[in-house]
Amino acid sequence: MLGGLLERGIKQYCEPVFIHPDSRIIFKDYQLPYFERFFEAARELHKCLPSIGIVNWDFAMNDKNQVVLIESNLICGSIWLIQNAWESLFLRKTQSIFFKKSEKSK
């Protein structure tokens, strides 16, 4: 579900966490408010950087419920964080995805 959190997050060195240490929000089934606004802001900003493949955008919401860009991380942007949080980018479908790909290459 877009805007929904996974059951767990990860801390430094991939230590799993299930509750945010500051807000005490439980990750499981939590839906991020205003997710669509953040998503659209990232899409629009990424259009300004067409030669950059992956950008890690950091946003916040101000007291007027407006999306505010904090920073963009252009160096070392990758999917490693996503892979660690999900334990696998394709989850349980990994084997079938790679199997189908290898069949096509024959």
pLDDT, one tens digit per residue, over 16-60 is 899 999 999 999 999 999 999 999 999 999 999 989 888 889 999
Distance, CA of 65 to CA of 105 (rounded, Å): 49
The count of domains in the chain is: 1
48 within a domain of the structure (yes/no): yes
pTM attached to this predicted model? 0.66
Helix/strand/coil percent split, the chain, to 5: 35, 20, 45
Residue 42: which domain range? 36-75
101 has a pLDDT exceeding 50: no
25 within a domain of the structure (yes/no): no
59 within a domain of the structure (yes/no): yes
9 within a domain of the structure (yes/no): no
44 within a domain of the structure (yes/no): yes
98 within a domain of the structure (yes/no): no
What contacts 67, CB < 8 A, 6 or more positions away? Answer: 34, 37, 38, 41, 59, 60, 61
pLDDT reported for residue 28: 94
90 within a domain of the structure (yes/no): no
